Amino acid sequence: KMESVQFKNDHEIEDNNLNHQQEQQQIEHVEQYIPHLLQLVSETSSILHSPIEEMSLEEIYSRETKQIVADMIYSIHPKQLELAKAPYRKAAGMAANQWNINKRIFLFCPDGSDQEVKVIFNPTYKSRLLAQSHTSELKTIPSNHITDFNQEGCFSVPYAYGTVERYKHIEISYIDDKGIKHMNEQLSDWPARVWQHETDHLNGILYSNRQSGINNGPNCIELHRFQTKDEFEKYR
């Protein structure tokens, strides 16, 4: 389980300026909000192809955001995905803009959306090996120690899968749903892949776009699309 790094005082949370009202808002729980079923946008929707700006602490603690988080957690559950006629039964994560929400939030559940779901604000990542190595050492690190290839699917690219190159080991930073800032935590393998995929969403990048080489970073070396869900499941 990932360890968190909690700020020692309010001044460390954001620009030495977190007031008492924000502290009280932080105490409120998502469970107070009645959730609504969200619908996924299509692959061509503009919100999927533009970077989402970072959120302020005030925005994270707002009632609007708490309602959005309640809606997202409700909508990612397998039963609700089925009601929404989503292309797949379970998710390993979902970014807010996949539901047409212009907020830098994603849900993280690498074991499946019927298991624990974490709320992530303002996520970032970097390659752990590249971050920890001196420039002179980079040439000596085998490429397969830095990245690997695996198949990925996406609710925004229905009935398709691609073989995508990702960093194997990453360092991540984010704010959780309690307002706690996490810095330089480590993820590897499948959880690291999910994190990169969802952060890409918030940066306006679909894994399928990586095939064309128009974005920096790891590439999708092949992409398979199918016309129907039956065709997709038969091939898989």
118-131 pLDDT, tens digit per residue, is 999 999 999 887 66
Is the CB of residue 104 less than 8 Å from the CB of residue 122?
yes
Determine which one of 58, 165, 198, 231 is catalytic.
Answer: 198
Q: Which of 31-40, 131-140, 179-188, 204-213 has the lowest mean pLDDT?
A: 131-140
* 222: annotated active-site residue: no
pLDDT of 48 > 60? The answer is yes
pLDDT bracket for residue 8 (50, 70, 90): very low
More confident residue, 139 or 236: 236
Say whether pTM exceeds 0.85. Answer: no
pLDDT of 211 > 90? The answer is no
pLDDT bracket for residue 42 (50, 70, 90): very high
Q: Which of 50-54, 144-148, 150-154, 191-195 has the lowest mean pLDDT?
A: 144-148
Per-residue confidence (pLDDT) for residue 10, from 0 to 100: 46
Per-residue confidence (pLDDT) for residue 1, from 0 to 100: 47
Q: Which of 15-29, 79-93, 147-161 has the lowest mean pLDDT?
A: 15-29
pLDDT of 37 > 70? The answer is yes
The average confidence (pLDDT) of the chain is: 84
CATH of domain 16-235: 3.90.45.10
Q: What percent of the chain has pLDDT over 90?
A: 64
pLDDT of 212 > 60? The answer is no
